[in-house]
Amino acid sequence: MSRFIGLIGYPVKHSISPYFQQAALDYYQLDIRYQAWETLPGELGETVSRLRHPQNLGANVTVPYKESVLPLLDEIDELASLIGAVNTIVKRDDSLLGFNTDAHGFIQALHERANFEPEGKQAIILGAGGAARAVSFALVQKKAGSLTIINRTLERAEALANSVRSYQASIGLETKTVVLPWPTVTTPVTFEHCHLVVNCTTIGMKHSPEEGKSPLRLEAIPSSALVYDLIYNPSLTPLLQLAQRAGANILGGLPMLVYQGAASFELWTYRKAPVDIMLNKADEVLERC
């Protein structure tokens, strides 16, 4: 009997995950199909219940359900609970377990692709949604020196900063965490001493209302920083183009996407993910998108 893994989100038709996950499953000649399960708002409960059918092994969860899926699962792993978002569901002994592999993917890409170690570094995060939450906890766990969270909706940034601070207090880590209002993105002084800027907003994403735009202006981008855009389509976002012009180092979102997917693959299959095969397939598919 063929078995299935799904991608739950809306919309999912532009996702490249089905291609590189299938390439990894095929590498091991597993009789498993990875499918896009586009799920309308209001249908999430039904889609998650279907995961309990015997032929289904689990799923990835993407926008806009990474947070709303939590109450529908039987158990949530500790990191996913902290982050408050699940991007991977694994069925084990008829129970649905929720994990978050975005934090791992983010750090792995930073390490492998940019040779950047967060310990003691000053980081600025643009955004306060699910991705920003994963990135913030990942940076705190890696002992970043400071975290500045800038978001259009200030209350959302404050809520994230508060959860990061209580986590730090519980484990005795000391990342200085501050929040700034969105208009500060236009001020070069905001970015003066930072080592890492991470775009966790959707600004610049293809097929979005903000396609073709950058969250930062050229003048605000420090040449000495690494500018990391979580957006993977386009691979060279407007922000990364400006960062290149400013002389900064850059990193796009594709390696993170593949590394988080590789971690999910290992949770479903208990096999080592063929990361190079996944990266090559992701690159190839993205060129056609």
Closest CA to 62 of 23, 16, 94: 16
CA distance 21 to 5: 9
Candidate residues 26, 158, 210, 211; the one interacting with ligand NAP per rule CB under 6 A: 210
Q: How near is the Cβ of 234 to ligand NAP at its closest, in Å?
A: 11
Q: 231, exposed or middle or buried, with CB in 10 Å at 0-12, 13-18, 19+?
A: buried
**20 vs 167 by CB, closer to ligand NAP:** 20
The amino acid at 78: E
Residues 6 or more apart whose CB falls under 8 angstroms from that of 270 comprise: none
Q: How far, CA to CA in Å, does 29 sit from each of 33, 76, 214?
A: 11, 30, 42
CA atoms within 13 A on the CB side of 145: 8
Out of 22, 136, 151, 175, which residue is the one contacting ligand NAP (CB under 6 A)? 151
**What residues have CB less than 8 Å from 200, skipping those under 6 apart?**
125, 126, 127, 128, 129, 131, 132, 135, 230
Instruction: Please choose, out of 30-38, 138-146, 227-235, 272-280, the segment that lies near ligand NAP by the rule CB under 6 A.
Output: 227-235
- Cα 136 to chain centroid, rounded: 11
Query: Taking CB under 6 A as the rule, which mask of x and - marks residues 232-261 in contact with ligand NAP?
Result: x--------------------x--xx--x-
Calpha distance 148→133 (Å, rounded): 12
| 3-state SS assignment for residue 186 | helix
Quick check: 202 binds ligand NAP (CB under 6 A)? yes
Nearer to ligand NAP by Cβ, of 30 and 114: the residue is 114
**Residue whose CB is less far from ligand NAP, 122 or 151:** 151
Our finding on whether 229 is near ligand NAP (CB under 6 A) is no
Q: Please report which residue ranges of 209-272 form alpha helices under DSSP H.
A: 238-246, 254-269
By CB under 6 A, is residue 161 in contact with ligand NAP? no
Q: Which of 16, 205, 275, 279 binds ligand NAP (CB under 6 A)?
A: 205
Considering only residues 90, 128, 243, 278, which one is a binding residue for ligand NAP as defined by CB under 6 A? 128
Per-residue contact string for residues 84-123; x = within reach of ligand NAP by CB under 6 A: ------------------x--x------------------
- Interface with ligand NAP includes 179 (CB under 6 A)? no
Is 66 designated active site?
A: yes
Question: Would you count residue 80 as binding ligand NAP (CB under 6 A)?
Answer: no
231 counts as binding ligand NAP under rule CB under 6 A:
yes
**Amino acid in position 91:** K
Site residues (vs ligand NAP, CB under 6 A): 63, 102, 105, 127-132, 151-153, 156, 200-203, 205, 210, 230-232, 253, 256-257, 260
Write out the catalytic residue numbers: 66
